[in-house]
């Protein structure tokens, strides 16, 4: 029997709205913090037994309808030898940013079986322990990965990345294609190991104008989603602040579009059209608000999507570290009750 989550991604019949949370395993959990006292983030990703333990934590604690592999979008970059660190409360920092044609050579072809065998090993172990709960595999979108590689770390303006895009569009495209190939190989390895769905986190595409997104990013994404089609698993495409890009994202070839809270979910759903499913979109900061505020906002989202096939409830971005675990537990309950189709 196909899982509730996958059926919703495929816009099939569901008895209620499935729910999971981006960053559902992480610092808001005391159990996770304890693991982090002895291991660095990227060490957890490289150890299938610990990775499995951390991935399963929220499934057991919150009763969510899907697990997401505990990993990071930077894992395949490190696997091909890019010097990169994740700095606490900052994000990924790249020792030697990529800025010229010769720098591109440092992004060699990813061979998952050799460069990151722990990824497929973790997926296999998690899938075996999950039983009926589906596992989501994921990767970073080429643009979002490029942002760290070119800027050297997190950025507000993305001026170096955009500078490269406009000054040397061919080099920018070559970089994007290399990253798309890496993302493809990383996702294929996860699907072949048993992942039931794949999400591409293209978190930072919202910094682009619709015209630049269409010219410099969309064609690469279309090629990537086309090549993922043969895997026959739902493909989710997520970005932050994408209200200006929804029609273009809907042309990417993804099956599900993930949206943040800055756009009304019903509006977003209408704009991507009836052929695609939608995922979102509660403001993660709301989980720090009073209980009835959370309940009201969650009910509004479920209500707005009532009667439309293909909605997966999620936050508009990752769970914040300050989130009380009980607030997430209650949110799962509310979504379940509100969306029950009698
Ligand atoms: O959703 C999940 O439960 C799976 C885990 C997951 C992580 N990273 C683990 C992680 C996922 C899906 C990611 C994706 C990721 N990583 C993205 C795309 C999603 C998004 O948030 O937009 C991005 C941009 C990254 C890069 C990255 N890694 C950032 C910006 C940070 C935060 C730095 C900080 O300290 O605040 C990380 C670190 C990171 N990756 C943490 C986790 C749980 C938190 C820090 C830690 O535990 O050390």
pLDDT in tens, 74-126: 999 999 999 999 999 999 999 999 999 999 999 999 999 999 999 999 999 99
Nearest to 207 by CA among 158, 167, 249: 158
Q: Report pLDDT for 1.
A: 80
pLDDT in tens, 263-317: 999 999 999 999 999 999 999 999 999 999 999 999 999 999 987 899 999 999 9
Q: How far is CA 188 from CA 182, 196, 223, 226, 317, in A?
A: 10, 11, 14, 13, 24
The span from the CA of 134 to the CA of 66, in Å, is 5
Q: Which residues contact 216 (CB under 8 A, 6 or more apart)?
A: 165, 169, 172, 173, 176, 208
C-alpha of residue 203 to centroid of ligand 1, in Å: 11
How many folded domains does the chain comprise?
1
The verdict on whether 235 is a catalytic residue reads no
Residue 336 sits in a domain whose CATH number is 3.20.20.210
> Once rounded to an integer, what is the mean pLDDT over residues 218-226?
98
Our mutation pick for probing the ligand 1 site, out of 24, 86, 156, counting the most ligand atoms within 8 A of Cβ, is: 86
User: Which run of H or E residues covers position 93?
Assistant: strand 91-94
Q: Report pLDDT for 279.
A: 98
Identified catalytic residue from 11, 32, 65, 72: 72
Our mutation pick for probing the ligand 1 site, out of 142, 280, 318, counting the most ligand atoms within 8 A of Cβ, is: 318
Q: Tokens 């009836």 sit at which residue?
A: 274
Ligand 1 atom with the smallest distance to the CA of 32 is 47
Find the residues whose C-beta lies inside 6 A of ligand 1: 22-27, 36, 41, 68, 70, 72-73, 86, 88-89, 91-92, 138, 201, 203, 318
Beta bridge partners of 84: 94
Q: Report pLDDT for 190.
A: 98
Q: Report pLDDT for 286.
A: 98
Average pLDDT of the chain to the nearest whole number: 97
The verdict on whether 36 is a catalytic residue reads yes
Q: Report pLDDT for 307.
A: 74
Q: Whose CA is nearest to atom 10 of ligand 1?
A: 72
Domain that holds residue 305: 4-340
Q: Report pLDDT for 6.
A: 98
pLDDT in tens, 60-76: 999 999 999 999 999 99
């Amino acid at each position: 029997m196909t899982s509730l989550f996958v059926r919703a991604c495929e816009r099939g019949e569901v008895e209620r709205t499935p729910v999971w949370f981006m960053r559902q395993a992480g610092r808001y959990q005391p159990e996770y913090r304890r693991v982090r006292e002895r291991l660095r983030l990227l060490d957890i990703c490289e150890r299938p037994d610990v990775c499995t333990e951390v991935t399963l934590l929220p499934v057991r604690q919150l009763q969510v309808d899907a697990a997401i592999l505990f990993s990071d979008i930077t894992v395949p970059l490190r696997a091909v030898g890019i010097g990169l660190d994740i700095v606490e409360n900052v994000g990924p920092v790249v020792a030697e940013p990529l800025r010229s044609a010769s720098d591109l050579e440092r992004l060699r072809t990813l061979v998952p079986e050799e460069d990151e065998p722990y990824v497929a090993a973790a997926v296999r172990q998690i899938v075996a322990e999950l039983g009926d709960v589906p596992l989501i595999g994921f990767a970073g979108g080429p643009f979002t990965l490029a942002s760290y590689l070119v800027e050297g770390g997190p950025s507000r303006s993305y001026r170096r990345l955009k500078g490269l895009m406009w000054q040397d569009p061919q080099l920018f495209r070559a970089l994007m294609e290399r990253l798309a190939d890496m993302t493809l190989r990383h996702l294929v390895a996860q699907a072949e190991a048993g992942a039931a769905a794949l999400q591409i986190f293209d978190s930072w595409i919202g910094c682009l104008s619709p015209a630049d997104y269409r010219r410099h990013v969309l064609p690469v994404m279309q090629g990537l989603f086309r090549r993922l089609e043969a895997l026959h698993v739902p493909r989710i495409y997520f970005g932050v602040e994408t209200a200006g890009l929804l029609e273009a994202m809907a042309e990417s070839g993804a099956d599900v579009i993930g949206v943040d809270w800055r756009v009304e979910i019903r509006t977003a759903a209408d704009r991507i059209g009836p052929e695609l499913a939608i995922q979102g979109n509660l403001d993660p900061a709301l989980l720090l608000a009073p209980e009835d505020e959370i309940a009201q906002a969650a009910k509004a989202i479920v209500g707005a999507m009532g009667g439309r096939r293909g909605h997966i409830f999620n936050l508009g971005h990752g769970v914040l570290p300050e989130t009380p675990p009980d607030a997430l537990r209650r949110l799962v309950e509310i979504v379940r009750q509100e969306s029950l189709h009698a």
